[in-house]
A and B are shown apart, each in its own frame.
Chain A
Amino acid sequence: MRYLVSLGLLLITFWLVLSGHYTVLLTSLGAASVALVLWIASRMSVADHEMVPLRITHRMPLYALWLTKEVFRSAAQVSIRVLRGPQSLNPGLRPVRHGQTSSMGETILANSITLTPGTLSVRVDAEHIDVHSVDEAFIDELETGRFAARVRQLDTGA
């Protein structure tokens, strides 16, 4: 129920902000669409902690900031390799232990790895994420577990 209410508030805000027209017709159309989406979501039982991650929302900004820093650092390193040409590459593909306790943690970590230029998650299993990288050094860095620990902190708060 809590998740459906949050989802409803989010959708209402979304409609109001994006529409920008506050006539009776458009506002009631918005209300009807929100109601329809909520009805479908409750029938499908998809409004849960994964769809509306309330538990981790307050830790999200700090993580986003840290991830932005990582993305910029990797983008610079990948750009240097692009400019130096293919000879500067040392691609690797190997499994890295992810150490996450929930499927949401796994998903966030795998997508964050993909989002960071130079590394790409190709497969996830119970304990590992197979990572492809333009340079083995990127995977070595992931293996230190610094990235995984950040995501675990975001996911569990510990």
Chain B
Amino acid sequence: MTLFADALSWMLLLGGGMFCVISGIGLLRMPDLFTRSHAAGVTDTVGASMILFGLLLQAPDWTVAVRLVLIIGFLILTSPTASHALAQAALGDGYKPLLGSMKPTAGATKARS
């Protein structure tokens, strides 16, 4: 049982870590604020939850477990609020999102703000 829990825990930790790294790459690679915030969203949701669930399986007693569950809950409630506020503030400030296909052939129509 502990072997199974440990294996699952490590899978979650490594999987969550992998998503965080991909999300970090996305933050650097994406072309504008809105697309970057989508990349960051991967860390907010999948990355953080998988790591926290992985840690949950390693929790020494129930008080730690309850705290981890609460952290997941608060992250899930607060992160969309922050993303939404950021996006709305950017739009309200007149920041135009890049739209349409980013394929090099369509480069002529690409509008940079």
Contacts and interface: CB of A to CB of B under 8 A. Distances in A.
Interface of A: 17-18, 20, 71-72, 75, 78-79, 82-83, 85-93, 110-112, 114-123, 132-134
B87 A122 contact: yes
B87 A120 contact: yes
Given A71-B46, A120-B84, A79 B38 contact: no
Nearest to B31: A86
Contacts of A89: 30-31, 35, 101-102
B102 A87 contact: yes
B99 A91 contact: yes
Contacts of B113: none
A142 to B, nearest CB: 14
Contacts of A17: 63, 66
B26 to A, nearest CB: 4
Interface in B1-23: 19, 22-23
B71 to A, nearest CB: 11
Contacts of A90: 100-102
27 contacts: A18-B70, A75-B19, A78-B26, A78-B38, A79-B19, A79-B22, A79-B42, A82-B29, A82-B39, A87-B102, A89-B30, A89-B101, A89-B102, A91-B98, A91-B100, A92-B100, A111-B84, A115-B44, A115-B45, A115-B80, A117-B38, A117-B41, A117-B45, A118-B38, A123-B88, A132-B97, A134-B38
B81 interface: yes
Nearest to B103: A87
Given A86-B29, A115-B41, A122-B84, 6 more contacts: A78-B42, A79-B42, A92-B100, A115-B45, A120-B41, A120-B87
Which residue, of B25, B30, B32, B67, has the highest number of chain A Cβ atoms within 10 A? B30
Given A89-B31, A132-B87, A120 B103 contact: no
B59 interface: no
B63 A20 contact: yes
A75 B45 contact: yes
Contacts of A116: 41, 45
